[in-house]
Amino acid sequence: MSNALGETAVARFEQLQGDRSTFLRRAQDASKLTIPALIPETTGTAAKLKTPFQAVGARGVNSLASKLLIALLPPSTPFFKLSIDSLELMKEGQEGLETEIDKGLRVIESALMNEIEISNDRVAMFEALKHLIVGGNVLLYLTDNGLKVYHLNRYVCKRDDVGNILEIITKETVHPQALPDDFLEMIKKKENYDAADFDEDLDIYTCIKRYGDEFKWFQECKGEKIPGTDGNSKIETSPWICLRWVRIDGEDYGRGYVEEYQGDLISLESLMQSVIEGAAASAKCVFLVNPNGVTRAQTLAKAPNGAIREGSAQDISTLQVNKGADFQVAFSAIQRIESRLEYAFLMSRSIQRDAERVTAAEVSIMANELENSLGGIYSILTQEFQLPYLKRRMHMLVRSGKAPKLPDKIVKPKIVTGLQGLGRGNDRAKLVEFIGTVSQALGPDVMKMYMNVDEAIKRLANSIGIDTANLVKSQEQIQQEMQAQQQQQLIQHLGPAALGSPLMDPQKNAQAQQLTEETNANQETV
């Protein structure tokens, strides 16, 4: 199947390869200095990769990727909240229901976090972040089977002038047995295809293109569309997420973080190679024998340990490489470069405890550190990864029937980053601070008069993700308990014999009315 221009997927892929070649070469150069297997120049398991002389680059990439992963997808800590648009709620005539709606949203948030926890998304995202740091580009595909990562050498793309994706083509190799049998039989009948081609892996191209407010895609092999591979989705819930590290207007691809520090990495690589090779030469033990002396070199070479041979000690000397001063200069330069790289890749800072669970405060501090150190790249990732990822996950949850469909105008997902903290812990802190301020400034009596205690308790519980069902008493339960207590006090005052008599009716007994009022007053005071 060809596109609107009459081109096959392979022709279009090769056409867009030219724009990608420069960025791919830069990514490969950065990979050589950090993790060579990440974006190799040659593909295949038999490809021989050169190991760098220094490990600072690899350690820096892994360290930065780990911190970004914890900040973007923190374990056991919500990094988002489903917020309510109060104005839209008023338009729908449902004002005053914020607490009840928020309680329901908390249940959906819990279900969504559970789906993320049991998936392989963090493993795949760690790989994707390393590609972003080194190569500056990565493509994600989120389906029910999990998160799939496409490296820069496996896809091409086209963007508009503001950076929105217009077209993506991926390239994969699969065994012919993975394709539908009827499709294989169809292409075998074509004269220009050799039967021997089907003994080896075939190239599969996935074409994704934007049409208005949605993406449509299909797969192609040997210039023919594969049946049953059509798909489409709204842009905001698309399974395809194309990420860039640093965006530059007018460019279809991004630039990696390693590229910004490539000079230091190249210098460190050269210095470490010189030091290692020089140290190996210095460690080599070579004896020199005076050719005009009485000691023979052959005699010395054949002599076992502890042997007695004729000769003169003055005829023998040891070759020494007196490069200690030069080594010190190299070591000093290496230390300065390593210090700069450790600072750049956040290896010199330790804000995370060595623990299985990471608190929301730690995640917030880490997010702020990443934001300040990386020049806003964390904010970019929250908008270009976290929000699309979350919307896609919510769409999958609704589609599976595990959550109801939420009104888009009233309920919107919100990513809270930086100094504001992450998740609902920030809401709890604000609520506690507000209640404490009112109580201290105006006094407890004024707070009881104007504060809805029942509503405050529910909001505190929702802010920390606690289900209040059968935990917090309802107004009906409180009223029933108060009436029972009043009745008990009346019985104690009037005696058991008055139970069920008209004396217990406040309308007929002024004393009962007085006791009821006193009881109510005591309850308000308490």
For residue range 357-387, what is the model confidence (pLDDT) as tens digits?
566 666 666 666 676 677 678 778 888 899 9
> 368 lies in a domain?
no
- Whether residues 298 and 158 share a domain: the answer is no
> 363 lies in a domain?
no
In the prediction, which pLDDT does 467 show?
57
- Whether residues 153 and 200 share a domain: the answer is yes
- Whether residues 227 and 287 share a domain: the answer is no
Contact between 345 and 64 (Cβ < 8 Å): yes
**Single residue among 240, 260, 280 that ends a domain in this structure:** 260
Helix/strand number for the chain, H first, E second: 18, 13
Contact between 385 and 72 (Cβ < 8 Å): yes
Number of neighbouring beta carbons within 10 Å of residue 233 = 16
- Regions in the chain scoring below 70 on pLDDT: 1-6, 43-47, 86, 88-90, 92-100, 191-198, 348-369, 371-372, 375, 416-428, 462-471, 474, 490, 493-526
Rounded to whole angstroms, the Cα distance separating 422 from 358 reads: 12
Count of structural domains within the chain: 3
- Whether residues 308 and 455 share a domain: the answer is no
In the prediction, which pLDDT does 196 show?
56
Rounded to whole angstroms, the Cα distance separating 471 from 467 reads: 8
- Whether residues 197 and 266 share a domain: the answer is no
> 126 lies in a domain?
yes
Contact between 495 and 454 (Cβ < 8 Å): no
Contact between 121 and 385 (Cβ < 8 Å): no
CA 390 vs CA 88, 277, 339, 460: distances in Å? 22, 51, 37, 25
In the prediction, which pLDDT does 152 show?
95
- Whether residues 266 and 220 share a domain: the answer is no
Domain region containing 283: 262-344
In the prediction, which pLDDT does 256 show?
93
- Whether residues 211 and 329 share a domain: the answer is no
> 446 lies in a domain?
yes
Residue carrying the six token digits 């909001």: 459
**Single residue among 312, 344, 376 that ends a domain in this structure:** 344
- Whether residues 321 and 198 share a domain: the answer is no
- Whether residues 71 and 188 share a domain: the answer is yes
- Whether residues 90 and 170 share a domain: the answer is yes
**Single residue among 298, 320, 344 that ends a domain in this structure:** 344
- Whether residues 107 and 231 share a domain: the answer is yes
Quick check: pTM over 0.85?
A: no
> 141 lies in a domain?
yes
- Whether residues 273 and 199 share a domain: the answer is no
Contact between 472 and 457 (Cβ < 8 Å): yes
In the prediction, which pLDDT does 388 show?
92
